[in-house]
Every structure is written in structure tokens, then in C-alpha cells.
Structure 1
């Protein structure tokens, strides 16, 4: 196998998006379009991946990081001119170069691999990725000779009536013999209405030299979708969502309503998981076997252990153990760690806190910046008072402690192992193990007070 390279075209501004966000950074199912493209190129065992940037260059580099090298297209003078910016990095190298647009998020590594294999098997100088379009309007047509060989690509505006009836379209993705590509690019002219240097002209130049130009037709037209406006972005989102959900369902996940379930491409889900309508799974979330995700739950960059149940709740950047019960209407904020068999009930907020096995906060509590041991019961209305206006402080609740309802634990403070905190207490000193701590004013009843108050008001 020869060396393989890739050039990602990501320099266009994308004015039709009518957005301050650079076009290729618009997300599809939670991941930027250009990141989708680069992630699908990675499995091709590339020697070099180069992204051509222009508008928003720094933001694209920030997104892709070390996944790519970069060249800058200072002026937007067409796709051929864009690829030519990689001349210094690639021109003298032997091998095959894939050229793909950064706004084609639906392309798959399988299709790209098949195109590469076809290109190398045909010993072609160029291979065009094509697709069959039921309605080819607006696409460049692939013109073949009587024996099926590619003759040229003709754009819609330049096509004759007969050519416009052709349904095989150019997707804008190519394989080239690397040295032949850069040699031909130097001969591409900008003698056209737009005054730009077009990459498809390379095909005509190679044909003029009697070089082999081939085509590989993808079976899935949807992969050819290029996103140039918000309408196309919505189409890409819908198609990507459908692809992701179908893959999970075929792998043993029950998605009750796939049309209303939103799963990012890097999410991993085990078998016999049930996902109810309205759920959103984002980032690099991992959901283990037999989890139930109740309606309208959002899980972001979190680990969810086996047999856990999440009902109408939100979790982000956290680790959730096995057989945990969460919700409804709970909020698990970043850097939380819930051990096995924990219960976090309705309207409980957990932030940067750990819960040991079997502990529970069943309702209406805020537990932030806390280390909660195993077997702890936290009563309704409990608050870890962690912030003094400038700094955050830690609350420690040791194993088997019992925190009564409506308690305030003013950090830094420790409630010892097996200790009890009486309901309504405000605790600002450590509680020893096995102790009962009561920190509330003594009750006083003033007999007849209300009658006197009413009499005074009448007077």
C-alpha cells in the first residue's frame, strides 16, 4: 500500500449560513462538521492530514488541535487554489491524496476506504467519488464514455439538456496520485466567470494527458450532502441522528422514539439500555448495560453504570455507579462521583461531590463540594454551605451518618461516622462519631400572644 495523505478544504467563509460562527464549526449532532470529516479520515492510516484554513483559521485549529497540520488560503480563489496551498508540504511525495470538503459531515470512513481501494486497484491518477441523485439539479454531472470511462465533469450551468438528465453527480471528494495532482494544479486556469481555480479542472487536464480517471459511486447519496446554509444543516442533523440511532438499535439498545432522541456520535451505549423520548446524550458519554434513561434526561460527558435509572434529570462530567437511582428532576453537576446503589431524588443538586455506596439524598437538597461516605442518609432540605463569597470549602460526611431535614452544614466541617444531626440544625463545628448534634434555638411558646396582637391592631 502506498503512502496516503488527505487535504481537508476548510477555508471558505460560508456567507450563506448568515452566522458569526465559521461554517465548518457548526455542529451536527453535537460535533463540528470539520471534526466529523477529520474523524472519518483517521482510520485510513494517513501519513499526513492537512487542513486548508482561511476565515476563522484560529478557531478551526483550536477545534482540530494536533489531529491535523495547517496551511492558510489567504484569498478565497477556488478549490484548486485551496489545495495548491499544500504544495510545499506534499508536492514531491509519492502516494495517494484524498481531497475532501470540511462541510461534508455525513461522509463515512467506509466509503472513503472503498474509494481509496478502488483508486489503487484501477491504478488511476484521479478517482471521483460520485453518487446517484434522484434530483441532480445544482450538482456537477459525471460524463462517461460508452465503455463507462469518465470523460469529464460538467457543472449544472454549463450542462446541455441531455447532460442535465444525467443522475450521477460529483460529490466534491476525490483521490489523486499526489504528484500528478500538484503538477496539474499548476496548469489550472481561472479563465471563468468567477475568476477562480477549480479543482475539477484537474480531471480534464489529466484526461488530456491520457491518464486514467476513474469514479467510485457511493451507495448512499446522503453522504454527498454539503452544508452551505441552515436548511442543509438541519438535513445533515436529521440524517446523522437517524444513522446514529439506527446503529445503537441494531447493537441492542431500545430507543422508544428515535425521532425525538439525540445522541452524539462518540457516545457508547451497552445492551438492553432503554432510552425514552426527549433524551439527549452528548460528548463522550458511556452508558453501560441495562440502564434506563427516563424521558427528557440530558447526559453529557459522563459515565453511567450498569442497571442505573435516570428519570427526567441532567448529569454532566460525572461518574455514576451501578444501580443508582436519579431523579426525577435531579441535577448532577460536573466532577460528581456517585457510588453503587446511591439514590439522588427529586430536586436534588449535586456538585463536585462524591457519594459512597448506598448513600441517599432523596429530595430537595444541595450537596456541593462534599465527600459523603457510605450508608449516609441526607434528609430533605439539607444544604452544604460551601461558599463564603470568595472561596469554596469542603464538607465531609462520614459513613452511616444521618443528617436530619432542613440542616445547614457550614463548611469546612466534618460529620463523624455514625453521627446524627438533628433536623433544623445549622452545624458549623465538627460532629464527633456516634454523637447527636443539635444546633437550633430552644422553642418558646408565648401563650395568648395572638389575641394581644389583634387587640393592639384594633386599638
Structure 2
């Protein structure tokens, strides 16, 4: 939204420690489907195109700041003095905003659509409260109304609140002018903290208008322990898989398929059972992944097949077959129409079009030209005990079974190494070598 025009501001509360998580990591930095909880909330908040977006940080502030990254304003709450204190510290960060939306950073299932609905419901109100109705309100406060149905306060969870069925979901919208005029009047509780919920009673006492907007229970799920974290993961995973199936992706068994929020999959891809697709992986149309495959921050081209293998931080071209039981490690690019068979491992290598590497082989720190045949048991010996070295294999070369390529070494285009060769010196284009150490073979007699 243009910062020169009035518009809503968003405050994301992310300062708490989360003691019930029993973790050294701040609560909001625990991940749900590959993304921190606070990042899920920030992404949802962008649906209303906020004029300003502030994140309140406190416990392990630097960790949270680094994890969230640029694009938001950070407000530090140096002492944990409650949600009222946290919001008051955002006065300057919300300058120029006509409405202030307050969200919890531990609600990863919150959607942009829910925030849009909450903001719309607050159009003429002094305060809007997100609510839902559940049988077990747990530790959440309830919304209390008078005989005419008007909200008079938010009652914290206690025995006296058991008759109230509307649960405070913990998301609010305030008229900005009213908020900054009154936030400083919020008193301290017995614990010495100032709670944002006290503002509801203040609005009612002043004759202001409070609206409630019912939101889905899942959206309001606050994660405060490991059980809730697992619940949120399961719900998010279901949402992701359901969306992908609607977009034309076949997921054979959603119950055993794990796909992160940052993954992009095109239509007509098939995901077999037991597959884990993590990070920012990309899969192009027509490819099949799995079963029992792990992709992490990797790109798979069109019409490729990856079976029971692990691919990390790598790029796979079109019409490639990988596996079963292959391992493609970080920094690798596999060209189109390549074949990597069982127990093939490739690391930090550039592999050209049409290379065949069928089984029990290792390529590390290598540049491989197109059309190379890399036979069973061949290995690049890339580490000398001190440093890593690269191997270069030219187009159309044939690397025989159990060949050891001792880097740094270059194999020329069309060259051939015999079975069991230990190559310690460069091999020229079209040259044939064999033996330990490898030596040139005589030219074949004309037939």
C-alpha cells in the first residue's frame, strides 16, 4: 500500500520466550512445514497490504530479527511487561495508520483471508475481536456480553468464565486514534504485566463500539507447546496437499506425504507415498517423485523420475532418472536425459546431457561433459587429506568399472579408461589408458 495514503498497520507480537516449548529457540522460530511460525503470520498479514508492518521482538531478539529478515520494522520490548506494553511501544512504528491490526506470532495457521475478514468487520468499530466457538476454551479468555448482546469485556479464563462460549482468538483491530489515546491507561495485573485485553472494557465504558468476527478454530490455534506444534504441522500439511491436488498434482497417499509451505509443484506431477519435499523445492510437470524420496531445496525438471533417493540443494534437468537409493548432494546440476542408478552419489558437480552413471559410483567436485558413460564402481578421489580438487571429464568419454580418478585430473573427450585403472595424470582426447597407475594403451590394430 502507498505509504502516502491512510491504511492499516499490523503489529505482530513475537517477543515471548515460550517456556512451555522447553526449548532454547524462541517459540516463534519453531517451524511449521518448513517455515517459522512468525513468518507464516507475516505472510498472512501481507494479504491486507499494510501501510506499515511491525514485529515486536524481545527474547533472543537478534535471532528473531535475523530469521524474519528485511521488509518489516522491528520494535524491541526489553522487558516482558505484557501485550499492552508491547503494543504501546509500536506507537511510532504505526504512525499514519488509521487502523491497527494486532496478531500473535505463534499462530502459524492464520490465513490472509481471515485477516481481511477481521479488518472488514472492524470498518465502523472502535475495536474488533476475533472469536471462535469451541467446547474446550482452555486457557484462552472469553468474550462477555451484557443483556443487549454488547461486548463489555474480555474475561480471562477462570471458573467464573465457564458459562461464556465465545473464545477470544487473540487477534484484534483498533481504531488508531482511540488506541493511542487509551493504551497508556492500561493498568498492571497482579503479575505486573499490562494486558491488551483490558482495552475491551475501556471501549465499553466509553460508549465505543466493539464488534466480533468469528474465525475458523484452526486459524486461531496458538502454539505454546510441542503437542500444539505437531497439531499445527498436521493441519498445515493437509492444507498444502489439498491445495496441490486441487491444482492438478496427484498425491497417492496424503497421510504419508510431507510437503513444505515453500514448495512449488506443477500440474501432472505424481507424488508417491513416503515422500518428503522440503524447503524451496520445485518440481516441473510430468515428473514422478517417490516412493520414499527426500527433496530438499532442489529443482526437478519435467518428465523426470526420482525413486527412493535423496536430493539436496541441487538442480535436476528434464527426462532424468534418479535411483533407487541415489544421493545427489549440494551444488550439483544434472543435465537433461541423464541416468543415475542405484547407489550413485554426486556432489558439487556439473553433469552434462545424457550422462549414464548407473550404479555404485561417486562423482565429487567434477565437471562432466555430455554423453559420458561412468561405469559401476568408478570414483573421483577428490580429497587429498588437505584440500578438495576438481575432476574434468570430456564429452563422450568412457570411464570403466572401478576406475579411480585422482584429482586434480582431466579426462579428454572420447577418452577411455580400463576397468580398475588408477588415473593420476591427465588423459588426452581419444586416448585409452589402463592399469595401476594408468598408462596409455597401444592403438587398436585396424580390422
Contact 2:125-2:175 at 8 Å conserved across structures: yes
Shift of 1:14: 0.8
5 Å-filtered alignment, 1:44-123, equals: 44-90=48-94, 92-120=95-123, 123=124
Find the aligned partners of 1:167 and 1:328 in 2 and give their Cα distance: 54
Counterpart check, 1:246 vs 2:250? no
Segments of 5+ residues of structure 1 without an aligned counterpart are 443-459
| Corresponding position of 2:433 | 437
| Corresponding position of 1:130 | 131
| Corresponding position of 1:204 | 201
Find the aligned partners of 2:437 and 2:158 in 1 and give their Cα distance: 85
Change (3 A) 1:149 1:289: farther
Find the aligned partners of 1:131 and 1:224 in 2 and give their Cα distance: 8
SS in structure 2 at match of 1:63: helix
Contact 1:401-1:420 at 8 Å conserved across structures: yes
Counterpart check, 1:389 vs 2:385? yes
5 Å-filtered alignment, 1:294-305, equals: 294-305=290-301
Shift of 1:182: 2.1
Count of residues in correspondence between the two structures: 434
Counterpart check, 1:189 vs 2:187? yes
TM-score (norm 2): 0.93
SS in structure 1 at match of 2:358: strand
| Corresponding position of 1:6 | 10
| Moved >4 Å (runs of 4+) | 145-148
Shift of 1:319: 0.7
Greater Rg by CA:
1
5 Å-filtered alignment, 1:217-228, equals: 217-218=214-215, 220-228=216-224
Contact 2:6-2:51 at 8 Å conserved across structures: no
Compare 272-281 and 367-376 and name the one that shifted more. Answer: 272-281
> Which of residues 201, 211, 214 in structure 1 aligns to 2:211?
214
Shift of 1:245: 1.2
Shift of 1:205: 1.2
The structure that is helix-richer by fraction is: 1
Deviations 1:88-110 (A, max 9, x none): 333x5341111111111110111
Counterpart check, 1:331 vs 2:332? no
Deviations 1:170-200 (A, max 9, x none): 110111122321222111011x332321101
Deviations 1:388-425 (A, max 9, x none): 22222221111111100000111221111111111111
Segments of 5+ residues of structure 2 without an aligned counterpart are 439-447
Contact 1:93-1:179 at 8 Å conserved across structures: no
Find the aligned partners of 1:14 and 1:94 in 2 and give their Cα distance: 30
Find the aligned partners of 2:88 and 2:49 in 1 and give their Cα distance: 23
TM-score (norm 1): 0.91
Find the aligned partners of 1:14 and 1:258 in 2 and give their Cα distance: 31
- Root-mean-square deviation over aligned CA pairs: 1.7
